[in-house]
């Protein structure tokens, strides 16, 4: 008899549990119970529901630093091969020995550059500059990995062009500039980060991908809870709500609320930034006016005079790509496109007549929407009652049949608050566009990926690229413009989250992944580096105007009948 008891106990327990569930369902349907009693039973009911729920909505956590990089839809063999190529192409050299005294790290104030060649050179030639990096003791560095940027400019002409930096991995660097205009040109070399700081940034990228965290509000009736969300969450025993996109398989998770179901999520918002990410020793490599965006000065002359090209002069073939340059404060692309100046609203209206312009991405593409609606009075913004700086936004000129819209990209996105229903992935939005000769698509997706391993960004671009290819297959005349990353203002704290070094990696990957496609790349990196104004995440109006002039020149190229009356 005793050996049959466990079977009866199990049966009794299952019957009692079933009865209890029915009782809870009936009790929670009573509207006159006090809020405290309802909340208590709701919590019990939800706990039982969670225990019996299929495992799809809960995800066990066995994570390491590769979790972000490799979680999501598996790439094809060809895509995996491309990813390896991309990672190798952006591999960054660094010190072989780490943990040395800070006095042995790179010091921009002790470093110097030397201009090669005569004081007078010719248009069409190439200016060569050698940079020699030294430590705080004034001794030459023996390894590379310092992050340098370079600009050649003529302030009185409103002219500037970005330089190409080549690392020789021995503390010496060569910078190459194309000579594109005549006059006195000045060399400007800046150390954004010493190599020792880049080591720290690489570590943070791999080990602390959740150093910016996000939140979601869950609400049902009078109950509400807020939990932490991210693409990567640290190891613990809490169950997760799985919000992986069913179409792209882009992963996103929130900790499951204690009293509410996963289907009660209301919004998404930036939660904040983690503190105490680096040691006191590492912090020495992130000091304003010491080793963050500090100029390197010349040893000898810091400028040359560029003369007009001689008759019959052989043109130098550059082994690097230059997107364009500024002259008289106007951007001149070197891709062959003829830039036009859209200096009045009527010229923009004529160009956009009959067009639909979609803008997808972060706040750097939203700047274009704001520029158009502020500059073109006929373009009236339609009130969608969207949160300021979040969107979605729409503007219409019904007389000229113009529609311009903006929508932010899906998570990760560091906006104040976005309704869950408005979290859309760019690839999915592109698949919903018919396309055609009167359709313009502008995409900017980069800034919010700076804290994640670069594989996460590669995966996101892979989905967007697939959607762009599908769009161009069904409507080849569609104009697609992809905006690249740009430089921004840095200090010790922002460097750990938004360093230009992160943006440089993103910029290189974006260029490589869209190379060969029938899209236009708007090189925001060079447009901000070549300009004399300070670097900002959101470039100032004069740069935005140059960007919009370039876009509109793509929309209405010289020679097209529609623009002949401009």
Mean pLDDT over the full length of the chain? 88
Would you place residue 223 in the very low, low, confident or very high pLDDT band (cuts 50, 70, 90)? very high
Q: What is the pLDDT of residue 236?
A: 67
Percentage, residues of the chain above pLDDT 70: 85
Q: How far is CA 20 from CA 13, 25, 49, 355, in A?
A: 10, 9, 12, 62
Burial pattern 519-532, b for ≥16 Cβ within 10 A else e, equals: bbbbbbbbbbbbbe
Q: 94 pLDDT band (50/70/90 cuts)? A: confident
Q: Hey, what are 389's tokens?
A: 């700086």
Quickly list DSSP for 364-401: HHHHHHHHHHHH-TTSEEE---PPTTT--EEEEETTTT
Task: Please give the CATH topology (third level) of the domain spanning 340-555.
Answer: Rossmann fold (3.40.50)
10 Å CB burial of residue 131 (0-12, 13-18, 19+) is buried
Q: What is the mean pLDDT of residues 460-484?
A: 97
Higher pLDDT, 389 or 171: 171
Q: Is the pLDDT of residue 44 over 50?
A: no
Q: Is residue 350 over pLDDT 70?
A: yes
Residue 58 has pLDDT above 70, yes or no: no
Maximum mean pLDDT: which of 329-338, 380-389, 460-469: 460-469
The whole-number pLDDT of residue 391 equals: 87
pLDDT in tens, 298-329: 999 999 999 999 887 777 777 778 999 999 99
CB 341, CB 330: distance < 8 Å? yes
Position 5 pLDDT exceeds 90: no
The yes-or-no verdict on residue 50 having pLDDT over 50 is: no
Strand residue runs (E) in 95-182: 112-115, 120-122, 126-132, 147-154, 159-162, 164-167, 172-178
Q: What is the mean pLDDT of residues 488-513?
A: 98
CA-CA distances (angstroms) from residue 419 to 118, 145, 349, 525? Answer: 61, 42, 33, 31
Which pairing describes strands 126-132 and 112-115: parallel, antiparallel, or unpaired? antiparallel
d(CA 149, CA 165): 7
User: What is the token pair recorded at 369?
Assistant: 């929407």
Q: DSSP 3-state assignment of 174?
A: strand
State the Cα–Cα distance between residues 289 and 109, nearest whole angstrom: 10
Q: What distance in Å separates the CA atoms of residue 260 and residue 50, rounded to the nearest whole number?
A: 10
Q: What is the pLDDT of residues 97-152, one digit of tens each?
A: 889 999 999 999 999 999 999 999 999 999 999 999 999 999 999 999 999 999 99
How far is Cα 259 from Cα 50, in angstroms, rounded to an integer?
Answer: 10
Per-residue pLDDT at 233: 77
CATH 2.60.40.1180 applies to domain 102-194+291-307: no
At 253, which helix (H) or strand (E)?
strand 253-255
Which pLDDT belongs to residue 34?
37
Q: Which two tokens stand for residue 51?
A: 């225990």
Give the pLDDT score at 518.
97
Residue 242 pLDDT more than 50? yes
Judge whether residue 63 has pLDDT over 70.
no
What's the whole-number mean pLDDT along residues 270-298?
96
Q: No. of H helices and E strands in the chain?
A: 14, 25
Cis amide prior to 144 (ω within 30 degrees): no
Q: What is the pLDDT of residues 409-446, one digit of tens each?
A: 999 999 989 999 999 999 999 999 999 999 999 999 99
- Reading phi first (left if > 0) and then psi (alpha if -120 to 50, else beta), residue 103 is in alpha
Q: Does 470 score more than 80 pLDDT? A: yes
Distance in angstroms (rounded) separating the CA atoms of residues 157 and 329: 8
CA dist 381 to 346, 403, 441, Å?
17, 10, 19
| pTM of the full structure | 0.86
Residue 41: its pLDDT value, please?
36
Q: Are 505 and 546 in contact (CB under 8 A)?
A: no
More confident residue, 255 or 70: 255
Please tell me the predicted confidence (pLDDT) of residue 564: 32
Percent of the chain residues past pLDDT 90, beyond the cut? 77
pLDDT score of 540 more than 50: yes
Mean pLDDT of 245-257: 93
- Listing DSSP states for 454-510 in one string gives HHHHHHHHHHHHHHHHHHHHH-TT-EEEEE--------TTTHHHH-HHHHHHHHHHH
Average pLDDT, integer, range 64-83: 71
Query: Up-side HSE of residue 171: CA atoms within 13 Å toward CB?
Result: 19
- Residue 433's CB is within 10 A of a number of other CB atoms, namely 19
Query: What is the pLDDT, as a whole number, of residue 66?
Result: 42
């Amino acid at each position: 008899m005793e050996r049959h008891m466990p079977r009866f106990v199990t049966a009794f327990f299952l019957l009692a549990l079933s009865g209890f569930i029915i009782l809870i369902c009936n009790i929670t349907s009573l509207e006159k119970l006090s809020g405290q009693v309802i909340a208590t039973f709701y919590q019990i009911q939800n706990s039982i529901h969670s225990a019996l729920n299929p495992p799809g909505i809960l995800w066990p956590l066995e994570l390491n630093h590769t979790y972000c990089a490799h979680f999501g839809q598996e790439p094809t063999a060809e895509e995996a091969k491309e990813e390896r190529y991309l990672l190798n192409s952006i591999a960054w050299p660094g010190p072989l020995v780490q943990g040395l005294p800070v006095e042995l790290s790179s010091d921009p104030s002790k470093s110097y550059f030397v201009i090669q060649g005569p004081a007078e050179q010719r248009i069409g030639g190439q200016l060569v500059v050698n940079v020699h990096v030294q430590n705080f003791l004034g001794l030459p560095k023996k390894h590379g990995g310092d992050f340098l940027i370079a600009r050649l400019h003529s302030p009185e002409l409103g002219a500037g062009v970005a330089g190409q930096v080549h690392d020789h991995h021995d503390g010496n660097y060569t910078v190459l500039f194309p000579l594109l205009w005549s006059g006195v040109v000045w060399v400007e070399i800046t150390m954004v980060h010493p190599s020792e700081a880049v080591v720290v940034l690489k570590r943070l990228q791999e080990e602390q991908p959740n150093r910016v965290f996000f939140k979601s509000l869950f609400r049902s009736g009078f109950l509400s809870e807020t939990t932490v969300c991210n693409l990567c969450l640290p190891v613990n025993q809490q169950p997760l709500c799985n919000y992986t996109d069913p179409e792209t398989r882009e992963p996103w998770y929130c900790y499951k609320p204690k009293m509410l179901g996963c289907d009660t999520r209301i919004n998404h918002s930036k939660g904040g930034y983690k503190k105490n990410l680096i040691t006191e020793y590492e912090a020495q490599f992130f000091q304003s006016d010491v080793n963050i965006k500090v100029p390197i000065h010349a040893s000898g002359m810091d400028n040359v005079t560029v003369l007009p090209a001689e008759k019959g002069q052989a043109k130098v073939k550059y082994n690097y790509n230059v997107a364009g340059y500024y002259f008289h404060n106007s951007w001149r692309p070197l891709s062959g496109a003829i830039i036009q100046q859209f200096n009045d609203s009527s010229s923009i209206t004529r160009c956009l007549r009959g067009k639909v312009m979609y803008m997808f991405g972060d706040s750097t593409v939203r700047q274009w929407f704001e520029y158009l609606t502020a500059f073109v009075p006929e373009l009236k913004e339609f009130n969608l009652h969207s949160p300021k700086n979040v969107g979605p936004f729409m503007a219409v000129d019904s007389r000229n049949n113009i529609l311009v819209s903006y929508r932010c990209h899906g998570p990760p996105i560091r906006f104040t608050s976005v309704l869950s229903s408005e979290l859309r992935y760019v690839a999915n939005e592109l698949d919903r566009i018919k396309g055609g000769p009167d359709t313009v698509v502008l995409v900017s997706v980069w800034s919010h990926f700076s804290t994640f391993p670069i594989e996460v960004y590669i995966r996101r671009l892979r989905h967007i690229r697939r959607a762009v290819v599908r769009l161009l297959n069904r409507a080849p005349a569609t104009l697609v413009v992809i905006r690249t990353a740009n430089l921004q203002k840095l200090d010790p704290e922002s460097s750990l989250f938004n360093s230009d070094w992160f943006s440089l990696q993103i910029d290189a990957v974006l260029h490589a992944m869209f190379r060969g496609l029938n899209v236009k790349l708007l090189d925001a990196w060079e447009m901000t580096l070549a300009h004399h104004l300070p670097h900002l995440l959101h470039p100032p109006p004069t740069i935005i105007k140059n960007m919009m002039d370039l876009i509109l020149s793509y929309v209405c190229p010289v020679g097209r009948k529609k623009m002949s009356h401009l």
